[in-house]
Structure 1
Amino acid sequence: MLQEARYFPNSPIFLCSFLGFFLFQAVVSQIPLGSKLSVVDNNLWVSSHGDFALGFYNLSDFPNRFSVGIRFNSKSIPVNQRTIVWVAGADVTVSNNSYFMLKENGELVLVDSSLGITVWTSNTSQVSVASALLGDDGNLVLINEKKDVVWQSFNTPSDTLLPGQTFSAFKTLRPPSKNSVSNYYSLYMDVMGQLQLRWESSIIFWTSQSPAGSNLSAVLASDGRLQLLDQSSEPVWSVFGEDHNDIVKFRFLRIDFDGNLRIYSWREDSQSWKSVWQAVENQCDVFATCDQRGICTFNSSGSPVCQCPFNSHLESNPKCLAPYYQHCSSGSAMLEHRHMVLYGIYPSNDSIFQTSLEKCKEMCRENPSCTAVTFMNDGSAQCRMKLTRFISGYSYPRMSSISFVKTCLDPKAVDPIVPKNSSLSSRSYELCVSCTLGAVLGTFVIFGALQFVIGFRIFKRREWEINGNDDNLPLPLFNLLL
C-alpha cells in the first residue's frame, strides 16, 4: 500500500490547501521568522519550483486530527498520489485549531491550541536561526545569517528517505502507527554500518550484508541506487532498482506498514508510484507478516495470504492461536505440519537447540509450557521451541522444515471457541444432565438394595440366636455384607 492511503485527498482541508496554492501561487523561497501555518487557514509553505509543500494533513482515521508534514507537490503528480515524505514528530497529531510556526527565537513549534501545549519542537532557539527554507529536494532547513544550515528535516526522518538524504548509525525509520503491528517494525543502522529491518528490537529479519565499517552512511542516489558510503563517499555496498539509470524525476525509499523496505519511482506513463526494489523479496519472510492471524502462504495468483491451519474459526475470530491450553485432562497430541516454519510473537524469543527430529518433538511433548516446535531439516538441525500460544510463521512447498503443534486430546479443549449458546453446546449440556440423573437414580437404587439386604441379615441372625439354631450359618455373601 502506498503512502497516499495515510491521508484523505478529497477532504475539504486538503483540497482547500491544494487550490489555495494555485490561486495565490504563494511560492516563498525564504520563510521568515514569525511565519505560521494553521489548520484553519489551510496555507502551505512551498518549495521554489513547487515540487514539495509543507502543511497540515489528515493522516489518521479521525476527521479532526491533523499532522504537519512535507509531501510531493509537483503539477505532474495527481493530488491523490502526492505522497507524504516527512511528518513533524512522526505520529504526533493535533486538533483542528492548531498551528505550526517558526517563532521569532528561531524555533519550529507544533502547538495544539485546544490543549494549549507544544507537542513538537525543533529545539533550535539557541542556534541563531535567521530564516527557514523548503528546498526542491524536499528538505526543510533552518539557516543562520551566514546561510549555514543549523537544522534540517533530513536529519530527523520519519518513514522515508529522499534522494541525497543520508542515513547514518543509530538512526531509525519507522512506519506510522497505522495498526498494532506496524508499530514494531523499523529500519535501523547499527554501529558496524549494517542496515537492519527489525521487529521490536531483538528480531532482525533482513540485513544489508555489507562489509563492516565505521562512519558508514546510507543514501538513495538519484539514479535509483541504495548505497552504503564510506568516509570518502565511496560505495561499499549497493542495490539497484529495476529502473536503474532510467530518466525518473521522483523517487523515494520507504519502510511500509507491512515491514518491508522499498524503493518507489514515479511513472509518468501510468501516473502512479511503482515499487522497483524491495529488501525482502518474499513477503512471507517478513517477521510477523500475519501477526496473530495465522500462517503466511501464497494464493493461486501469487499474493501472500494468512491462513489458520489450527482451527476453523479464523473468519469469526481474528486471532489464530495455538490450540494447546497447558491444562489437558486427557493428555496431548503433536499434529505434524510439513514445509512450515513457526515462531513465537508475544514473546518473540524462541528457545533454539540442536538435536534430532524425534528428540525435538519429544522435548516439546514433555515440556508443559511448549505449544509448538519447528525442526529445520536444512542441515542446521535446529529445534525451535515456542512457549506461547501467540505464534505465526510461513509455509511453502520447498521449505525444508517440519513443525509440530501440540493440541489437547480432551474434547472440551479441542474446540474451545464454540459459543455457549450454540446447538452443539446445548446438546452437550442435555447429555450431561441425562447422565447425571441416571447416575443419581442408580446410586439410590443400589443404596436401597444394600440397606434391605443388611436389614434382612440382622433380622435373621437375631432369629437364629433366639431359636438356638447355630447350625444354619449365614451364607458367605451375607458375612461380607455385615
Structure 2
Amino acid sequence: WIGMASSVMYYWIVVTIFLSCSSDCVSSEIELGSRLLASKDQVWVSDNGTFAIGFTPSDTDNRFFTFGIWFASLPGDRTFVWSPNRNSPTSREAILELDTTGNLVLIDKKVTIWASNTSNVNVESATMSESGNFILHNTNNHPIWQSFSQPSNTLLPNQPLTVSSELTSSKSSSHGGYYALKMLQQPTSLSLALTYNLPESYQTFDENESYANYSYWQGPEISNVTGEVIAVLDQAGSFGIVYGNSSDGAVYVYKNDNDDAGLASAIHQSTPLTVLRRLTLEENGNLRLYRWEDVNGSKQWVSQWAAVSNPCDIGGICGNGVCKLDKTKTNASCTCLPGTSKVGRDGQCYENSSLVGKCTNRKNENNTSNFRISTVQQTNYYFSESSIIANYSESDVSSVSKCGDACLSDCDCVASVYGLNEERPFCWVLRSLSFGGFEDTSSTLFVKVRANSSWTPEGQGRSNNSSSDGMGSAKEKAVIIPIVLGMIVLIILLSMLLYYSVHRKRTLKREMESSLVLSGAPVNFTYRALQIRTSNFSQLLGTGGFGSVYKGSLGDGTLVAVKKLDKILPHGEKEFITEVNTIGSMHHMNLVRLCGFCSEGPQRCVLFYLQFHCENSNFIALTGLSNVCFADF
C-alpha cells in the first residue's frame, strides 16, 4: 500500500505540472523556431515532468528574471541546477529562442545575453531530458550541445565534470570574485580542488605575475593517470573521480554507505532519477551534497555532506578581511583591517586609499616616513605563492618588530606575517591580502598604511558589527538623537507642570490670605516671624490643655500672646484657617480677641491681643483656639 501510495502521489504531481502549464508547457521534442517568453512564465518540461527549463522571477525583485533548469517535480521549489545568466538577470521582455539556424539564444530588449553558438551545425531539435540535461540534437539524434557539458554551480547524478570544465558559484555582489570546483593538475598528479578566484578586473602589481586564485580545499590526489579523468556524482549519492582508459579506477571524495554499484556505473548513464540529489557549489565557497527528504512532514533539501566544515578555512569569505568563528565554531563573522572597509550585503572587506598597494614613481611616494605599520595580533593570512615577496627565516628575523620593519622598507609590501613553524620563527612579506585572513594565536600581522591614516584594527577599540564605520556611526546617531531629544522634551514638560502646580498652590494661598486681611480677619504669620516676635518663645505666660502661651510683641509694639498648639487638629489647613477666621470675627467682653495665626508645615499657632489683666497666667482654655481671661479682683 505504501508503494502504491507513493506511485499515485508521483503521478499526481506530474499531472499537476502539466495541468498548471496548460499551453505554456512543451515536452518531448522542441522544434526549431520555438521560443519561451519570460512575461508568460513559459517552460519546456521533460517527458515525466521531473525537470523544466524556463524563466523564474528573482527572489529579491520580481521585475527581473533568471533563465535556467530546475526540478519541476518539486512544487514550490525552483532551485536552479543550471543557469547561464545567474549574474545578469533579465527583464520581463526576455525571450529564449531556438532559432531556425539551430542556435539557442537568450535575448533581452533585442540584446543577446547568452547563446549556445550552434548556428549552422545541423541542429535539428532540442530535448529537456529526464536526467536534467538540455540537449540540442542533429538529424541523427546525436548531441551537438548539452547543458551537462557547460555546468554552472551544480552537478546532477551522472553528470560528468571533465578536466576542461568547472563548477562556478555566483559572483559576489560587492567585488565580483567567485569560487570554483575544478581539476587541479600538478606535474605528476591531479586532484579536485576548490579555489577562490578574484574578478577579471583585478589588477596585479606586475603584468608578468598572476596570483588571481587561491586553492583552499583539495580532494584525494591521483598520480600517473592515463586516459579520461571525470568527476561524477552517482545515483546512490557518492562523489569522486573516475579515471583510466576503461574508467576502472575510482577515488572517492565522499562515499555513501549504501552505494554498491560504484562510481564507474555513473559514467554515460541517463536513467531516470529515483532519489533527487544535487551537488552545489554555494556562493559562500562551500561544496555541499543535498538530498530531497521528508523532515517532520515537510519536504526540503537536506545537506548530506560538505567539503569544508570550518567556514574560516574558505579563502576570501571575508574579502581581504579576517574571518572569526563564534563559540559554536560553526558561524563566522568578518573583521576589517586598517585601510579597508566593509562593502555590499555580504559584509566583505575591501581596500580603500589608506591601504598601500604598490610601488609608484611619484616623488617621495615610497619614502618610509609616509607610511606606518599597524599591528593586528593573533592573525594570519591566506596567500598564493606568487603573492609572496620574501620569506625571512630565523636568521633574518630576530624579533617580531623586525618583520614589520621588513614590510615598511619594501614599497611593494602590503603586509607581513610573523609566526612560528615548529617553534622556529618565520616572516612572510606579502604583496596581496586578497584571499582573506583567519585567527591564529601564534601569528602577528603587520599592515602597512599611510602615515596620515587614522585606521585601527576592528575589535581593537572599534566595533566590527556594523557594515562600515561610517554607516555604523550614522545608524547609532539615527537612534540616539531622537531618544535624547524626546527625553529633553519630556523633562521640559514635567518641569513646566511642576512649576505650574507649585505656582498655583502659592497663588491660592496668597489669595486666601488676602481675602482674610481684607475682611478684617486674623493675619497669617510665618513661623520664623513668630520666633522673632517672641524672642524664640522665651517668655512663657502659661500652659493649657492644648499648648503653651508665650508673650510677644508686634512691630508697632502691641503686646500679644502667642499660643503654640501641641495637639494638631485632625482637620486640614483650609479648615484650620476658616475656623481662625470665624473666631477672629467674634467679640465678647470676656473673650480675648484673636489677631493672627500661623499654619506652616506641622506648626499651628494663634495670636491674641494681650490685655493688662491677663498677664499673670490667668488664661483658661475653653477650646483649642479661643481663650477667656478673668481680671484679678
Q: Tell me if TM exceeds 0.5.
A: yes
Please point out which of 246, 259, 284 is paired with 1:258.
Answer: 284
Residue identity opposite 2:438 in structure 1: Y
Please point out which of 278, 290, 302 is paired with 2:318.
Answer: 290
For residue 268 of structure 1, give the secondary structure of its aligned residue in structure 2.
strand
Return the alpha-carbon distance in structure 2 between the equivalents of residues 330 and 28 of structure 1: 68
For residue 130 of structure 1, give the secondary structure of its aligned residue in structure 2.
strand
**Residue correspondence of structure 1 range 34-53 to structure 2 within 5 A:** 34-53=33-52
CA 256–352 in structure 1, closer or farther in 2 if over 3 Å, else same: farther
For residue 218 of structure 1, give the secondary structure of its aligned residue in structure 2.
strand
CA 249–408 in structure 1, closer or farther in 2 if over 3 Å, else same: closer
Residue 32 of structure 1 aligns with which residue?
31
- Contact in 2 for aligned 1:336/1:402 (Cα 8 Å): no
Please point out which of 196, 203, 209 is paired with 2:220.
Answer: 209
Task: Give the TM-score normalised by the residue count of structure 1.
Answer: 0.70
CA 402–78 in structure 1, closer or farther in 2 if over 3 Å, else same: same
- Alignment deviations for residues 41-88 of structure 1 (CA, whole Å, 9 cap, x no partner): 2211001111111111234755433232101111xx341x33101113
- Contact in 1 for aligned 2:195/2:214 (Cα 8 Å): yes
Please point out which of 130, 134, 157 is paired with 2:128.
Answer: 134
The alpha carbon displacement at 1:384 in A equals: 2.1
CA 48–391 in structure 1, closer or farther in 2 if over 3 Å, else same: closer
Return the alpha-carbon distance in structure 1 between the equivalents of residues 169 and 382 of structure 2: 23
Residue identity opposite 1:202 in structure 2: N
1:199 and 2:238 are equivalent in the alignment: no
Please point out which of 254, 269, 294 is paired with 1:240.
Answer: 254
Please point out which of 348, 354, 362 is paired with 2:402.
Answer: 362
For residue 105 of structure 1, give the secondary structure of its aligned residue in structure 2.
coil
Residue 11 of structure 2 aligns with which residue?
none
CA 46–94 in structure 1, closer or farther in 2 if over 3 Å, else same: same
- Contact in 2 for aligned 1:376/1:382 (Cα 8 Å): yes
Residue 622 of structure 2 aligns with which residue?
none
- Alignment deviations for residues 267-291 of structure 1 (CA, whole Å, 9 cap, x no partner): 2234221222222222111111111
Please point out which of 208, 217, 234 is paired with 1:221.
Answer: 234
1:342 and 2:381 are equivalent in the alignment: yes
Return the alpha-carbon distance in structure 2 between the equivalents of residues 179 and 190 of structure 1: 27
- Contact in 2 for aligned 1:170/1:190 (Cα 8 Å): no
CA 248–266 in structure 1, closer or farther in 2 if over 3 Å, else same: farther
Aligned residues: 393
Residue 164 of structure 1 aligns with which residue?
158
- Larger mean Cα displacement after TM superposition, 324-333 or 53-62: 324-333
The alpha carbon displacement at 1:303 in A equals: 2.8
1:84 and 2:80 are equivalent in the alignment: yes
List gaps (5 residues or longer) in structure 2.
1-15, 198-211, 261-272, 357-365, 463-468, 474-633
Residue 265 of structure 2 aligns with which residue?
none
Residue 463 of structure 1 aligns with which residue?
none
1:108 and 2:151 are equivalent in the alignment: no
The alpha carbon displacement at 1:219 in A equals: 0.7
Structure (1/2) with the larger strand percentage: 2
Please point out which of 87, 92, 96 is paired with 1:96.
Answer: 92
Residue 377 of structure 1 aligns with which residue?
420
Return the alpha-carbon distance in structure 1 between the equivalents of residues 448 and 392 of structure 2: 24
Structure of larger gyration radius: 2
Residue identity opposite 1:342 in structure 2: Y
- Alignment deviations for residues 138-195 of structure 1 (CA, whole Å, 9 cap, x no partner): 0001122322222211011111111111011121221122423563322222455432
**Residue correspondence of structure 1 range 259-408 to structure 2 within 5 A:** 259-269=285-295, 270-292=298-320, 294-308=321-335, 319=349, 335=375, 337-338=377-378, 340-343=379-382, 349-356=387-394, 358=398, 361-368=401-408, 369=411, 370-379=413-422, 382-387=426-431, 392-395=436-439, 401-406=442-447
CA 21–181 in structure 1, closer or farther in 2 if over 3 Å, else same: farther
Residue identity opposite 1:237 in structure 2: V
The alpha carbon displacement at 1:96 in A equals: 1.5
Residue identity opposite 1:51 in structure 2: T
Return the alpha-carbon distance in structure 2 between the equivalents of residues 305 and 94 of structure 1: 33
The alpha carbon displacement at 1:108 in A equals: 1.2
Residue identity opposite 1:304 in structure 2: N
Q: After the TM superposition, which parts of structure 1 deviate over 6 Å for at least 4 consecutive aligned residues?
A: 17-20, 311-318, 320-328, 407-412, 416-419
Residue identity opposite 2:405 in structure 1: R
- Contact in 2 for aligned 1:242/1:276 (Cα 8 Å): no
- Alignment deviations for residues 285-339 of structure 1 (CA, whole Å, 9 cap, x no partner): 11111114x321211233332243867997999748798778886985674623x
For residue 148 of structure 2, give the secondary structure of its aligned residue in structure 1.
helix
The alpha carbon displacement at 1:92 in A equals: 4.1
Higher RCO (C-alpha under 8 Å, 6+ residues apart): 1
For residue 302 of structure 1, give the secondary structure of its aligned residue in structure 2.
coil
CA 410–101 in structure 1, closer or farther in 2 if over 3 Å, else same: closer
Residue identity opposite 1:196 in structure 2: A
For residue 436 of structure 2, give the secondary structure of its aligned residue in structure 1.
strand
- Alignment deviations for residues 382-434 of structure 1 (CA, whole Å, 9 cap, x no partner): 5322345768311156xxx3113357897974669998xx9xxxxxxxxxxxx
For residue 221 of structure 2, give the secondary structure of its aligned residue in structure 1.
coil
For residue 362 of structure 1, give the secondary structure of its aligned residue in structure 2.
helix
CA 104–24 in structure 1, closer or farther in 2 if over 3 Å, else same: closer
CA 253–71 in structure 1, closer or farther in 2 if over 3 Å, else same: same
Residue identity opposite 1:261 in structure 2: L
CA 404–155 in structure 1, closer or farther in 2 if over 3 Å, else same: closer
- Contact in 1 for aligned 2:312/2:323 (Cα 8 Å): yes
The alpha carbon displacement at 1:26 in A equals: 3.9
The alpha carbon displacement at 1:224 in A equals: 1.2
